[in-house]
Amino acid sequence: MPFDWDKLRLFQVVASAGSFTEGARRLHLSQPALSRQIIALEEALGAKLFHRHARGLALTNEGEQLYRTTDGMADEIERTRMAIESTRNRPTGEIRLTTTVSFGSTWLSRNLAAFAQLYPDIRVSLNLRDEEIDLARHEADCAIRFHKPHQADLIQRPLVAIRHHLCASHAYLAQHGEPQRPQDLAGHRLIAYGPEAPAYLKSINWALDLGHDGPSREPALAINNSFGVLQAVEAGAGIAALPSYLIAFSDKVKRILPQSHGAVFQTYFVYPSELKGSVRVAALRDFLVARMTPAGMGEA
């Protein structure tokens, strides 16, 4: 038969007090009500816990065994209460965060170092993939998304709008010349996002039609990941549209045709409604809001 935790708590107080009178005072109960609870506990255990005499109570052998256990429980509970009290306003615990490979492996990973300094008791587990994982199924706690989330039950905090710009490596421009007009792109190698790229990335391929009225230009190279596109551009493979945070990340590329504005992605910090009151999630959200500004994304 399982123990009744409420009765064990009452027993611990009475044993500590040494009398039903003092125990009832500490518990704000009447003495008869307290006595009935202890008798019920003794019946459930099949053992007497107290010797009752005129000067108060004395523990039986069984009572001493139970008191050692319940007193240890009370101490552990008090230590836990004090630990909770001391960390009430200090975020602790783990956050499982997911976002895209390119953003997570560059801007985010670098900035999480500052987050770790601000919140040393929070452990961040970063899951990078271009395919979205389901927060509702608890595959992660929160996410940074590059489009408005489809799930209506997620809390959505808008972050910064990330812009894309045409760019090329210094070595490529030295060899092939820098285009001065959108029409000049016809004589250059273009890098595009391939058919395997997530649907929201394909709008970045606007450069294939820029300054051109006919069918879309054929790219010289197609890659399904922004970070892969950056590597190709840095290596001199051609011209591509890259997000501002990746261009700022590299000292090997240069923006070209600055008057031509490309795709813009509104970013969001999203998490399930059951984490609405999480102090650690709120800490990460506020950190991202403060850091993910146009200047912070390389738009200065």
| pLDDT tens-digit readout, 183-210 | 998 889 999 887 776 666 666 788 888 8
Per-residue pLDDT at 193: 84
- pLDDT tier for residue 58 given thresholds of 50, 70 and 90: confident
Neighbours of 156 (CB within 10 A): 14
Q: Report the alpha-carbon distance of residue 118 to residue 287 in Å, rounded.
A: 9
C-alpha radius of gyration, the chain, whole number: 32
Average of per-residue pLDDT values in the chain? 87
Q: How far is CA 27 from CA 12, 22, 31, 186, in A?
A: 11, 9, 10, 86
Domains plus CATH for the chain?
5-86 (1.10.10.10), 93-160+266-291 (3.40.190.10), 163-264 (3.40.190.10)
Q: Check pLDDT > 80 for residue 83.
A: no
Per-residue pLDDT at 82: 65
Mean pLDDT of 64-74: 85
Q: Report the alpha-carbon distance of residue 9 to residue 59 in Å, rounded.
A: 16
Residue 298 has phi, psi (to 5 degrees) of: 90, 20
Higher pLDDT, 115 or 20: 115
Per-residue pLDDT at 118: 92
Mean pLDDT of 17-45: 88
Tokens of 215: 């069918």
User: Any long-range contacts for 27-32 (C-beta under 8 Å, 24+ apart)?
Assistant: none
The candidate with the shortest Cα–Cα distance to 226, out of 207, 210, 246, is 246
Q: Which residues contact 261 (CB under 8 A, 6 or more apart)?
A: 163
Per-residue pLDDT at 70: 85
Q: Are 185 and 293 in contact (CB under 8 A)?
A: no
Q: Which residues contact 266 (CB under 8 A, 6 or more apart)?
A: 146, 147, 148, 158, 159, 161
Per-residue pLDDT at 141: 94
| pLDDT tens-digit readout, 209-247 | 888 787 888 889 998 888 899 999 999 999 999 999 999
Q: Are 101 and 225 in contact (CB under 8 A)?
A: yes
| pLDDT tens-digit readout, 120-174 | 999 999 999 888 888 888 899 999 999 888 777 889 999 999 999 999 999 999 9
Q: Report the alpha-carbon distance of residue 215 to residue 228 in Å, rounded.
A: 26
Q: Report the alpha-carbon distance of residue 7 to residue 213 in Å, rounded.
A: 83
Q: Report the alpha-carbon distance of residue 127 to residue 143 in Å, rounded.
A: 9
Residues written for the chain: 300
Query: What angle separates helix 61-86 from helix 5-17, to the nearest 10 degrees?
Result: 100
